[in-house]
Amino acid sequence: MTPTPSSTASTGSTHALFDDVVRSDSSLRRFLHGLPGVDQVGCEARAAGLGTRSIKTTAKAFAIDLAIRMVDLTTLEGQDTHGKVRALASKAMRPDPADPSCPATAAVCVYPDMVATAKQTLGTSGVNVAAVATAFPSGRAAMDIKLADTRDAVEAGADEIDMVIDRGAFLSGRYLDVFEEIAQVKEACGDAHLKVIFETGELQTYDNVRRASWLAMMAGGHFIKTSTGKVQPAATLPVTLIMLEAVRDFREQTGQMVGVKPAGGIKTTKDAIKYLVMVNEIAGPDWLDPDWFRFGASTLLNDLLMQRTKMTTGRYSGPDYFTLD
Amino acid sequence: MSRIDVRKTYKLYIGGQFPRSESGRSYVVNDAKGRLLANAAQASRKDARDAVVAARAAFGGWSTKTAYNRAQVVYRIAEVLEGRREQFEAELRAAEGISTAKARTYVDAAIDRLVWYAGWADKITQVVGNANPVAGPYFNLSTPEPSGVIAVVAPRGALLGLVSVVAPLIITGNTVVVIASEENPLTAITLGEVMATSDLPGGVVNVLTGSAAEIAPWLASHMDVNGIDLTGIEDATLATELEAAGADNLKRVRRPAPDTDWLAEPGLDRMTRFLETKTVWHPIGV
Amino acid sequence: MSNIFEYAPAPESRAIVDIKPSYGLFIDGEFVDGTGKAFKTVNPATEEVLAEVAEASDADVDAAVKAARRAYTRVWSRMSGSERAKYLYRIARIIQERGRELAVLESIDNGKPIKESRDVDIPVVAAHFFYYAGWADKLKYSGFGETPLGVAGQVIPWNFPLLMLAWKIAPALACGNTVVLKPAETTPLTALLFAEICQQADLPPGVVNIVTGAGDTGRAIVSHPDVDKVAFTGSTDVGKAIARAVAGTNKKVTLELGGKAANIVFDDAPLDQAVEGIVNGIFFNQGHVCCAGSRLLVQESVADEVMERLKRRMATLRVGDPLDKNTDVGAINSAEQLAKIRELSDIGEAEGAERWSAPCDLPANGYWFAPTVFTGVSQAHRIAREEIFGPVLSVLTFRTPSEAIEKANNTPFGLSAGVWTDKGSRILSMANRLRAGVVWANTFNKFDPTSPFGGYKESGYGREGGRHGLEGYLKGEDS
């Protein structure tokens, strides 16, 4: 599984280590298909096993605050308005207005045309603006349009770009096309961080998720992300397990860390804590940081806030006590 | 002046060869009326040891042949036996002092038994194997496999008894060291000749003649023998000793069966007693 | 590894179980005082004495066998299969209802993590009774006839106390036999709670008798002349002694004994799952598993990578309080077993194998052994040949499939084996050539009531579980 280190510097991969791998479609295919396979049942059993960890008291309080700090508070609807985005951005900065000790979320995640509005509200709060780009969610557009979409979002002030890969190209085995697309979008990102969305619900197999993870990491993605939230299933524990193994193994080989973002379908504190346990035990505690792990979610935040209040007050709270933005 | 006939030397049947006992011993075998029939080789513990080595060596190849192939070999034994039936009938009449009709009945039954067992080779797995519906995403299949090298003490009944204990073992892929009936050992060696010319690989069946009381303890305590069939042991104390000796490596044991009606159709038990069930699991996923 | 996400203790409440200061024997539907001495059962995680338990004497065993015979003759063998089934279904349901209580008690008495007793042992126990309940009125389709043997004497080990009880009692009762069962001396409590469950289920008196004690009690059961069937799970040495003891009798015997399973990892294996399988194979239940994958055979081309991944994974195993829901590896069952594990591990080192243990803090009291792996092991090492029955893995390497088979089969045992490879045809070839009763391919240590379990060679004979598991409790059609 270790690629042959290349002595010749060339363009393409961010790591000279992978230059030979990405030299041609066939070498790339050889590499990706040479990665160890994933046994579905074993992988799901491992994820379920980690899901039985019981996180209580101090550990739970730590996990809830960490999870809040990892949320990319998301609205990606056709009905989004500037007003909606402003309200969401306000909530991201002060999730619990009644409790100033409650941390802010990591980012808000919006469509490119809403970036400026979000940026305006967030100002220098430290909460980032993430924009979905590259003809989100299907990714079905010409390359120059995807790049224009990306530049547009970056120019409007996006700190992070969440791109979608061309699943059609991936599933038909045109890995080099996918690789080059990611590399080009990354270039268009400039200083913005790039998250690469696989839409794992469409890739179907864990083997594909592992291959997509390596492809995106070799192409220079800062984060790998499960889903758009528009396709079911979206994020799952076993899919995220595979991606966490991939970033762990990638660091072993390159020394470089890549972040992971499950998105879609994570709604409860209990779910979020299962993910954090998995991060802790699979990738390791270095990833327990908003720089390296995010939740793409909207309703999750209120559940985290309710649980947080329960921890501090000792009684159960209700949805009336939290804002619905 | 009449022609002087050429008499046969009865030796052992080990590893497809017909050696004399390494001990150089033989014993007198008389007919039912007490007249000399022949001298039979009197096997020693070392002959038993050699037979086990031969049986073990044959096990790998025999047990991994296709069931269809084993069926054809055992069927072939029946064919060759049919072709030599007059010889066997004559031997039975001489050795056991039975009527022509009775001898024919036994030979018929022995041939038919071989045919019956031949057909089991590729069916026993279907009858005693199982697909198991486990509560999880796993393929789970149980299949029978031969236990390995089986030592057998054959019952009286020089042909039918012998065939009835050996056929069920080899049809499933076991290899055998059989101690022939001490009183009627000659037919067992003639049967060895049949097996040797029936495409049965050497070592699959090894025939020892001599004293079961002398040889069987060595087989019962032999650590490379996987099972012992005590069918022909008539002395209860000896049977108990042999079973206890077999415990040293946890041999599968078949206890003596003094009242067996060898003409009746057997069940599965002679096969299943020396089969192991192997269960294989595999996840079901994409 | 830093500890920024330190899991707070998450103990399962012990209040759910009510351990009495002393226990008698369960004979003929009642708890009675034994006529022999008493012995103590301790919590191996704390060395706290949990209860005093009666040691059944020969007279007590005789009383139990008599009760079982009476129940067999007068009630159980005459009852229709469908009625027997309903008792077994009842028992299955009560086990489910009292599942948490049984799990906590099992963990306290045995030392196994609550995670395992709660998620594996007890659910499989209930499933086992549920499965065999359904056979009781369908025996004529079993292929083994429908005639019971009579009184079954059953002796079980301490590694899966209630699960082994279920494996013994459920098929015995389904087939119409009555039983006298002896739990292991270090883990009698769940069997005694099971006796209470029999009472709750209104099981006719004498159908199940539980006699506690040690080796002498076991011998009394096995050699009792009115026992028709002996079922034993435990060490190969005791299994051989039983086989000798029953020689010349008409007793039917099934023996489920030791193992030294090879877990074979090829270079094309799904490595992350293989590592999980290795861990599960040898550290599940502290390695107190007869079918444990105690010999890792790894293809040389991936040996370094597998070892690296394995050690990283072992470092995340949480060793400690069995009642903590986050504990992965609990306490060694007894001081005696701990001494044996230590001795064999020391021998491993003395013989030149390289020892590595997962970094973990072991509690001050109780019996503990850190998950340990030996590399540089050869077939000649004692740790590659003898069953350690603890969390100790011996790693050997191989180059070709034939070498793997040769090494895997090069043992007097033959209980289980594992194979890890992505190549389908190779899986089937390996599965065919491995001389073992259970072959787990791309998985390990899976158990199910429908799946027969048992060994080749010195791992014993007979099968437990599935349709095959009925054979040991029926007279058979033609023998």
pLDDT digits (tens, 9 = 90+) for B133-150: 999 999 999 999 999 999
Q: Are C242 and C277 part of one and the same domain?
A: no
Which chains sit next to C, with 3 or more Cβ pairs under 8 A? A, B
Between C479 and A146, the higher pLDDT residue = A146
Q: Are C250 and C273 part of one and the same domain?
A: no
* pLDDT surpasses 80 at A14: no
The residue count of chain C comes to 479
Interface test with A, best of C272, C307, C314, C447 (most A CBs within 10 A): C272
- Among candidate residues B54, B26, B52, the one with its CA nearest the CA of residue B210: B26
Residue C151 phi, psi dihedral angles, 5° rounding? -100, 125
For residue B285, give how far its alpha carbon lies from the nearest alpha carbon of chain A (Å).
5
* Nearest CB to C5; choose among A37, A42, A63: A63
Q: A324 at the B interface (CB within 8 A)? A: no
Residues A187-210 as b or e (16 or more Cβ within 10 Å = b): ebbeebbbbbbbbbbbbeebbbbb
Q: How many CA atoms lie within 13 A of C375 on its CB side?
A: 11
* pLDDT surpasses 60 at B106: yes
Nearest-Cα residue of chain C relative to residue A280? C5
CB contact under 8 A, C460 and B248: no
CB contact under 8 A, C276 and A58: no
Q: C141 at the B interface (CB within 8 A)? A: no
Cβ contacts (< 8 Å) between A41 and chain B: which residues?
Answer: 136-138, 283-285
Pairing of strands C48-54, C38-43: antiparallel
Q: Are C136 and C270 part of one and the same domain?
A: no
Q: Are C197 and C286 part of one and the same domain?
A: no
Q: A233 at the B interface (CB within 8 A)? A: no
Residue C1 confidence (pLDDT): 41
Q: Are C327 and C206 part of one and the same domain?
A: no
* pLDDT surpasses 90 at B259: no
Q: Are C150 and C204 part of one and the same domain?
A: yes
Amino acid at site C188: P
Q: A123 at the B interface (CB within 8 A)? A: no
Number of domains in chain A: 1
Give me the CATH number covering residue C355. 3.40.309.10
Two structure tokens written together for B162: 């012998």
Any domain includes A33: yes
**Catalytic (active site) residue A186:** no
- Output DSSP code: residue A205: S
CB B243 within 8 A of CB B233: no
Domain that holds residue C215: 22-257+457-473
* Nearest CB to C477; choose among B247, B267, B278: B267
Domain that holds residue A196: 25-313
Nearest-Cα residue of chain C relative to residue A284? C1
Q: What is the mean pLDDT of chain A?
A: 94
Give me the CATH number covering residue A266. 3.20.20.70
CB count within 10 Å of CB B279 equals 28
Any domain includes C435: yes
Structural domains of chain B in order of their starting residue, each with its CATH number: 26-283 (3.40.605.10)
Q: Are C351 and C211 part of one and the same domain?
A: no
Q: Are C327 and C355 part of one and the same domain?
A: yes
Two structure tokens written together for C202: 């209104």
Any domain includes A3: no
CB contact under 8 A, B249 and C477: no
**E strand or H helix that includes residue B30:** strand B26-30
Any domain includes A219: yes
* Nearest CB to B283; choose among A42, A204, A205: A42
Per-residue model confidence as pLDDT tens digits over C102-154: 999 999 999 999 999 999 999 999 999 999 999 999 999 999 999 999 999 99
* pLDDT surpasses 70 at B257: yes
CB count within 10 Å of CB C343 equals 12
Q: C359 at the B interface (CB within 8 A)? A: no
Q: Which of A117-121, A308-312, B82-86 has the lowest mean pLDDT?
A: A308-312
**E strand or H helix that includes residue A118:** helix A115-122
Q: C381 at the B interface (CB within 8 A)? A: no
Q: Are C168 and C30 part of one and the same domain?
A: yes
For residue A244, give how far its alpha carbon lies from the nearest alpha carbon of chain C (Å).
12
Per-residue model confidence as pLDDT tens digits over B153-194: 999 988 999 999 999 999 999 999 999 999 999 999 999 999
Cβ contacts (< 8 Å) between B249 and chain C: which residues?
Answer: 412, 457-458
> Order of strands, edge to edge, in the sheet holding A107-110?
A259-261, A223-225, A193-197, A160-164, A128-133, A107-110, A71-74, A295-297
Two structure tokens written together for A149: 């979409």
Any domain includes A4: no
Number of domains in chain C: 2
Residues C136-160 as b or e (16 or more Cβ within 10 Å = b): bbebeebbbbbebbbbbbbbbbbbb
For residue A29, give how far its alpha carbon lies from the nearest alpha carbon of chain B (Å).
19
For residue B138, give how far its alpha carbon lies from the nearest alpha carbon of chain A (Å).
8
Q: Which residues of C are catalytic?
A: 256, 290
- Among candidate residues C186, C168, C148, the one with its CA nearest the CA of residue C43: C186
pLDDT band of residue A9 (cuts 50, 70, 90) is very low
Two structure tokens written together for A303: 């559940």
Which of A195, A225, A274, A303 does the annotation list as catalytic? A225
Residue A324 confidence (pLDDT): 81
Residue A1 confidence (pLDDT): 41
Q: Are C246 and C266 part of one and the same domain?
A: no
* Nearest CB to B249; choose among C412, C439, C451: C412
> Order of strands, edge to edge, in the sheet holding C392-398?
B130-131, B138-146, B275-283, C438-441, C416-420, C262-265, C295-299, C392-398, C372-375, C354-357
Q: A39 at the B interface (CB within 8 A)? A: yes
Two structure tokens written together for C269: 């294996």
Enumerate the H helices of C353-417 as residue ranges. 382-385, 401-409
**Catalytic (active site) residue A80:** no
Ranges in chain C, pLDDT < 70: 1-2, 477-479
Any domain includes A286: yes
For residue C292, give how far its alpha carbon lies from the nearest alpha carbon of chain B (Å).
15
CB contact under 8 A, C271 and A36: yes
CB A85 within 8 A of CB A312: no
Residues B137-165 as b or e (16 or more Cβ within 10 Å = b): ebebbbbbbbbbbbbbbbbebbbbbbbbb
Q: How many CA atoms lie within 13 A of A43 on its CB side?
A: 26
Cβ contacts (< 8 Å) between C268 and chain A: which residues?
Answer: 36-37
Any domain includes A11: no
Any domain includes C175: yes
Any domain includes A196: yes
ipTM: 0.97
Two structure tokens written together for C365: 């009291």
Cα B51 to Cα B48: distance, rounded to the nearest angstrom: 5
CB contact under 8 A, A39 and B137: no
What are the E-state strand segments in chain A?
71-74, 107-110, 128-133, 160-164, 193-197, 223-225, 259-261, 295-297
* pLDDT surpasses 90 at B131: yes
